[in-house]
Structure formats: C-alpha cells, structure tokens
Structure 1
C-alpha cells in the first residue's frame, strides 16, 4: 500500500508541476488509484489528511471539467463521487469550448496590435494553433473511440 501511495503522490506532484492546483491533483490521484467504486469527501479528507474545504473545492473543480461525477450509493446519506468511465475523452471534448474561446481571444487581440509587431506574430500563431485543434480534435476523439470499440 505504501508503494501505491507513493505512485499516487508522484502523479499528484507531476500534475501540480504541470499547473494543476496541488489539492486538485491529489484528489484526482486518489480517485484514479482507488479500488472503491466511489468516494465521499470524508473518505478523501481522511486519506489525504486535508481540510473539508480544500476537498470540497477540489471535487468542485474536477466536476467542472467532467473528470468526476456524483455516484448513487443506495442507502448512503453521504454524497459520493466517482471518476467518470470516459473521463479523459470527456475532458478533451469538453475542452472544445475553451479551444474556441482561446481562438476568439487571439483573433480579437489581432485587431488591437500593429500588424508587423511581435505581438501580432504571437497572436496569429495562437489563433492558427487553436483553429487547428478545434478542427482536428473531434476526428482524433472519433479515432480514439473507434480504437476502443466505443459505440458513440
């Protein structure tokens, strides 16, 4: 169990170094490595030795990006959560709105900078990149689902 905890903390550290808030990363790792079908905020609080508020905020963040969802546990009066079965593909397809927004912001920014300026070059690159992702990501996700035999 100590080895599993070490790997879980290693993942949380890597996610934190990549920009994810530390507690969100730790909670996500806890969901990933859990053998339980679902976890409560209390379970996470005890496992991670964290405050109720930080656990609640982390669950809220993970729910907002569709990695975690409520789970029904008959007979339980506590709120249970589970990692979505399709968490990773849902996260990527859910990001399409963000991709469009980033592209819009870059295009709008282009109207406010000089055409020959370094900012114009950077914003053009940003707009082109997000436009490319917005076009290519749905096909990539379709191939991912097909490779797994998903019927979506």
Structure 2
C-alpha cells in the first residue's frame, strides 16, 4: 500500500516501466507511490540503465538484515524531498558517464547549504562506508572537480567543489577527444590508409580532432596564428603573391608558409571575414568570405 515497503512485484513493475521508457512520476502513479520512493529505489540500485528487479529486492532485503544488527545511524540533515533530488541529480550525472558514488558526492556538495562537507558528513548523509566516500573523493580530486581544505581547529579535511568545476570538466573532455584523435591517427598510419581499418581510423581521427577543437573553442592559437599572419600580409600587399614571395616577405621557411596556407584553407571559419583565395594556381590573395556579404551588398560596394 502507499507508504509501505516496496514488494518484489513492485520492483518488477518499476523495471518494466524503465524498460518501456516511462518517467519516475508515471511509474509512481502506476504503483500509487510517491515519486521520491521510485527515484530513490532506482538511484540506490543501479540507476535507470542498470536497475534489475531481482537484484534490487535481494539487495534491499540484505541491507534491512544488516541494519537490524548494526547500531543506529546518526540522523541525516536532509529531508525526503532534498534527498530524492540529490539522488535524481546523481543519476543524471551517472547517465553522463560519471561514476555513481562520485556523482552522489558531487550532488550532495552542490545541494548543501554549507560551503563544504567533511568525510563524516558525506558518510552520514549518503549512508555509505568511509571507504566508499574516500574512493569517490579521490576520483573527484583527480579530475579537478573537488579539492580539500584543512580545518585549522581540528584534524580533519573539508571537501569543496572547485569554482570552475564544469569548465574544468569540459576541458578534460576536450583533451580526451584529442587523445582519441591522436591514437586513431596513429593506428591509421600503422595499418595503412588504403586498408579498410585504416580508412575507419582516419575518419575516426578526423571526427575527434574536429570535436576536440570545437570543444576547446577552435584550433590551438599557434596553429591559426601563422594562417592569420599570412592573410594579413596578403591584405597589406593588395595584390596576388606567390608562395616564394610571401615566404620571403615574412622571413619564413617555405615549410612554415606551406603549413600556414594549408591551415588558412582548413580553418576558414576561424579566419572569417577574410579567407584565402588563389586567382591562379601559383598565386595567393586574401578576399572577403563569400557568404559574409549578400549579393545586394556586393553590388552596392562595386
């Protein structure tokens, strides 16, 4: 009945609802239960993608037996609604790829009124072992999402969320994509671009290379800087120049100029409103990006 313990059959209905793509509120209505009951049940038993009715029932029964033989826990400071939100927040982060216990720690740190929490606070509110909290905090520290602050009055550590936590997480993801790109490019070179495996890895390298650049705000500055300098030189010259003439004027080695011109073409979206143009096969100039001005605007300027 509403408010009572979930039965084995209740858990099977929850699993069936999740498999059918139903939300927690809809599943709760079917069971005539509070939504928070369903969200807590799912969060503590594998999340939306890992929930198994039989496993959840046996695990809950086992926890109940342990609680009867253990001393009572310190009372939590969270009310049921906040606790349910913490678990839903954590489940969302798990779905995004963050480890479950690290997600629960991070969600609790975000929703606490205090600026920081101690290990004892986390153990009490999450109702887990100190070892679980230690491992989760260690992971969050490693990826730069949480840091420790010593308590000058007592021998204990306070855990604080980094101010730029999501910016840092974004940068970590961008670096991961670059690593994917570099590793797949290495594999493509090893297997040969003419092989099926080499072609797959080449496409993979191109995809992650561009994704990493987009997440980082574009190509690295040193990559695009020479391209912009070459375009500025062509604009200043006001006439088409050959690669040799441009390299001489800039005082660059031919290889450096070749790379700069290639990047000006490759990263045209970052050189806008000016792009590289070849009026002849051997000469280069800088012109306005074709899509920047409308035909009417071009006609009026002409």
- Greater RCO, 1 or 2 (C-alpha within 8 Å, sep 6+): 1
Task: Note the alpha carbon deviations across 1:80-124, whole angstroms, 9 max, x for none.
Answer: 11001111012212344323322111111213435342x434422
| Correspondent of 2:107 among 29, 37, 58 | 29
| Correspondent of 1:56 among 134, 149, 159 | 134
Determine the structure 2 residue equivalent to 1:104: 182
Determine the structure 2 residue equivalent to 1:43: 121
Deviation at 1:72, TM superposition (A): 4.2
1:86 matched to 2:160: no
2:174–2:213 contact (8 Å) kept in structure 1: no
Which structure has the larger Rg over C-alpha atoms?
Answer: 2
Supply the RMSD in Å over aligned alpha carbons: 2.1
Structure 1 gap segments, 5+ residues each: 141-152
Larger helix proportion of the pair: 1
| Correspondent of 1:7 among 82, 85, 103 | 85
Aligned equivalents of 2:129 and 2:92: distance in 1? 22
Deviation at 1:55, TM superposition (A): 0.7
Q: Which runs of 4+ in 1 moved over 4 A?
A: none
Matches within 5 A, 1:126-145: 126-139=204-217
Task: Note the alpha carbon deviations across 1:20-39, whole angstroms, 9 max, x for none.
Answer: 22211111111111111111
Structure 1-normalised TM-score? 0.79
SS in 1 for 2:217: helix
Structure 2 gap segments, 5+ residues each: 1-78, 219-302
Aligned equivalents of 1:56 and 1:122: distance in 2? 41
SS in 2 for 1:80: strand
Structure 2-normalised TM-score? 0.42
Aligned equivalents of 1:78 and 1:110: distance in 2? 51
Aligned equivalents of 1:54 and 1:8: distance in 2? 17
Distance 1:9 1:121, change over 3 A: farther
Task: Give aligned pairs, total.
Answer: 139
Determine the structure 2 residue equivalent to 1:150: none
Aligned equivalents of 2:112 and 2:160: distance in 1? 10
